[in-house]
């Protein structure tokens, strides 16, 4: 497992939870500038897995950990 993931590797990929729930396609990544860590992922407009939305009405999910799979981004929330 690499010790870093580039945003270009995850943008557009499908995010899934550890238990296999499809979360949606990743449209954007928001970084906390104070810590340098990912604050949350912005998912496609049709995603309904989160009550949190950004200022453009897109679903966002907070992230504790990401794991890159060949097909998916596995998210621990």
Q: What is the CATH number of the domain that holds 70?
A: 2.30.30.240
Q: What is the pLDDT of residue 2?
A: 65
Number of compact structural domains in the chain: 1
Strands 65-68 and 72-76: antiparallel
**pLDDT number for residue 13:** 92
pLDDT tens string, the chain, 77 residues long: the values are: 567 778 888 888 998 888 888 888 899 998 999 998 888 899 876 666 666 777 887 888 888 888 888 889 898 87
Q: Per the domain annotation, does 2 fall within a domain?
A: no
pLDDT at 26: 92
pLDDT reported for residue 47: 61
Q: Domain for residue 1, yes or no?
A: no
Q: What is the pTM of this model?
A: 0.76
- H helices, E strands: number in the chain: 1, 6
**Domain hosting residue 34, numbered range:** 7-76
């Amino acid at each position: 497992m690499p010790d870093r993931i580039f945003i270009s590797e995850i943008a557009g990929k499908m995010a899934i939870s550890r238990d296999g729930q499809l979360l949606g396609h990743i449209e954007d990544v928001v970084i906390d500038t104070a810590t340098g860590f990912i604050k949350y992922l912005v998912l496609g407009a049709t995603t309904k897995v989160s009550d949190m939305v950004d200022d453009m009405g897109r679903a966002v999910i907070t992230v504790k950990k990401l794991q890159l799979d060949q097909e998916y981004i596995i998210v621990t929330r």
